Amino acid sequence: AQKITQTQPGMFVQEKEAVTLDCTYDTSDPSYGLFWYKQPSSGEMIFLIYQGSYDQQNATEGRYSLNFQKARKSANLVISASQLGDSAMYFCAMRGMIYNQGGKLIFGQGTELSVKP
Amino acid sequence: NAGVTQTPKFQVLKTGQSMTLQCAQDMNHNSMYWYRQDPGMGLRLIYYSASEGTTDKGEVPNGYNVSRLNKREFSLRLESAAPSQTSVYFCASRPPEQGSYEQYFGPGTRLTVT
């Protein structure tokens, strides 16, 4: 079975500071991918960043980086220099690559981030 | 290139009514998905279609049916709506290649069943 856990229902961060959103996962698939999506109050799902389980380096996309610790089964999202526009719900998701027919994603419960001016 | 489109954006149904949520993508993707999102929860997969002509159940398929009409279109039908189906419904699609390709999401349909 696959599972994604996000233990922080809500987070606050001061503008321009960095923030880490936690994500832990469990899977029996030997190869998998981890994704982070942002959902602003307008409701759309925006892809942020991807990490493959066999990638040697942690993924980075602009102000977003993924702190991937395979042994601990964690894939935390780090947002540097927070901006007011970063206020949103953030979802961690996983896709097994070997045993997952159809490329299905499993989502965590989400973390609501609020950036304070 | 519109990406993934969904209709309608909002819908209110009475218990027992039926309706079909429409989804279309213009990116030539093979795989398409229907999710529901309830307050305080992440997205849960209802049904998916790995390729044209195939559909499979996801985590929460009860009360729903789907049709992969062609490569572009994947519809979700509620035959007899129940208040428990009040939710936001997202359609998504993904390219056929393996690897890092993410799912592309539509804007969502907000459904209320009274």
By the 8 A CB rule, do A113 and A88 touch?
yes
Across the interface, of B42, B92, B100, the residue whose CB is closest to A109 is B42
- Mean pLDDT (whole number) for B20-34: 95
For residue A55, what are its two tokens? 């990638």
Q: Do B107 and A44 touch (CB under 8 A)?
A: yes
First CA to last CA across chain B, in angstroms? 36
Alpha carbon distance B48, B31 (integer Å) = 7
The pLDDT of residue A101: 74
Residue B54: partners with Cβ closer than 8 Å, 6 or more residues away: B68
Using an 8 Å CB-CB cutoff, list residues of chain B that contact chain A. 31, 33, 35, 40-45, 48-50, 56, 58, 88, 90, 92, 94, 98-100, 102-105, 107-108, 110
Give the β-pairing of A111-116 and A10-14: parallel
- Mean pLDDT (whole number) for B1-26: 95
pLDDT digit string (tens) for chain A, length 117 residues = 789 999 999 999 999 999 999 999 999 999 999 999 999 999 999 999 999 999 989 999 999 999 999 999 999 999 999 999 999 999 999 998 887 777 889 999 999 999 999
**Chain B residues inside the 8 Å CB shell of A91:** 42-43
Q: To which H or E segment does residue A90 belong?
A: strand A88-96
Q: How far does A24 lie from chain B, in Å, by closest CA?
A: 14
The answer to whether the peptide bond before residue A117 is cis (omega within 30 degrees of 0) is no
The pLDDT of residue A108: 96
**Chain B residues inside the 8 Å CB shell of A45:** 43, 90, 92, 105
Distance (Å) of CA B30 to CA A63, B6, B25, B113: 31, 17, 10, 31
Q: Which of B36, B51, B102, B105 is the best substitution to test chain A (most A C-beta atoms within 10 A)?
A: B102
Q: How far does B42 lie from chain A, in Å, by closest CA?
A: 4
